[in-house]
Amino acid sequence: MDSRGPALYAPAGSSVDISRSTEEDSLVDGPLIPADALHSAIRRNFQSVPTPGHAGLLSVLHVVYVVLSMCVALLCVLEFGQKDVCMSILGNVRGDSVIVFGKVCLWVLVLLFTGCVQHHHNQARSRGYLRFYRQTQGLKHLPLTVHSAGNVLLLVVLAVRLSQTVQTYMLLSVLGLELLIAVPCLLYYTVQVMRFNRERPAPDVSQEEHSHNYSFTSLPTETGFREGSSLEEVVEKQADLIEYLKQHNTLLSKRLLNLTAQH
């Protein structure tokens, strides 16, 4: 009786093993998704960053503001031109006050530009472009920093009791220095974003799998503190790594669903 027990259950177990091995062989031998198929689909769905136009417009407005400020300072404040024309245009408003009001409006435009750029870069980051986000992280805030520093210098110049001529020339010097720093930064940012839009790269997850140009080891993986690192920097790097892994998981899920649909 005992010798018959294993014999009764042996055929059933062997049939289950055979069916499992057949299913596994069919999955292994089945057609796989081409490596470039998903990569090309991602490239077709590429969304460009539309901020170069905003940066160019802001640069033009900055140049126009500085030119108009020089005209107001020379013609209306220093009175190198016809005073009646300035009185008819500005009225009872002083020329230096007009320059300051224009500077405040320009700073508000720079603030709105920075918020718009941050929004579009956050969207690019959520789509997996972590390297592009990090490369332009400090560059996109630089114009606002320059204009804010220029506002501080203008307040210092206006607060110090100087003669009208010296104050006007110092005011124009601050505006000119600000122009020489802010506009090249905007132009450099425009070039970087236009290059990114022209190359239309795949997200970093796809680049790591297809071309190995952006390897997993290049991403920050430290979990503690190192010399010269701050808490904010470590947390930000870990957030980028988590975002990278989420994108990687999404990519693998799409491949698994496509592979399952073929069987």
Q: Which amino acid is at 131?
A: R
pLDDT of residue 204: 66
Q: What pLDDT score was predicted for residue 253?
A: 84
89-96, Cβ contacts within 8 angstroms, sequence gap of 24 or more: 96/158, 96/167, 96/168, 96/171
Long-range contacts of 115-118 (CB under 8 A, 24+ apart): 116/51, 116/54, 117/51, 117/54, 117/55
- Extract the tokens encoding 73: 């300072």
Domain coordinates of the chain in residue numbers?
Answer: 50-201, 202-263
pLDDT of residue 223: 45
Confidence at residue 244, expressed as pLDDT on a 0 to 100 scale: 66
Is 189 within 8 Å of 136 (Cβ atoms)? yes
What is the structure's pLDDT at 212? 46
The pLDDT profile of the chain, 263 residues, written as one tens digit per residue, is 454 444 444 454 444 454 444 444 444 444 444 545 545 544 556 788 999 999 999 999 999 999 999 988 888 877 776 667 677 777 777 878 888 999 999 999 999 999 999 999 988 887 778 788 888 888 889 999 999 999 999 999 888 888 888 888 999 999 999 999 999 999 999 999 999 999 888 776 565 555 544 444 444 444 444 444 567 766 766 677 676 677 667 777 887 888 788 76
Q: Give rounded-to-5 percent helix, strand, coil for the chain.
A: 80, 0, 20
Question: Residue 222 corresponds to which tokens in the numbers above?
Answer: 């430290």
Q: How far is CA 177 from CA 23, 58, 103, 162, 240, in A?
A: 73, 17, 14, 20, 36
185 close to 110: Cβ distance less than 8 angstroms: no
Q: What letter does residue 76 receive in the DSSP assignment?
A: I
Residue that is written with structure tokens 């974003």 in the block? 193
> How far, CA to CA in Å, does 200 sit from each of 124, 197, 203?
12, 5, 9
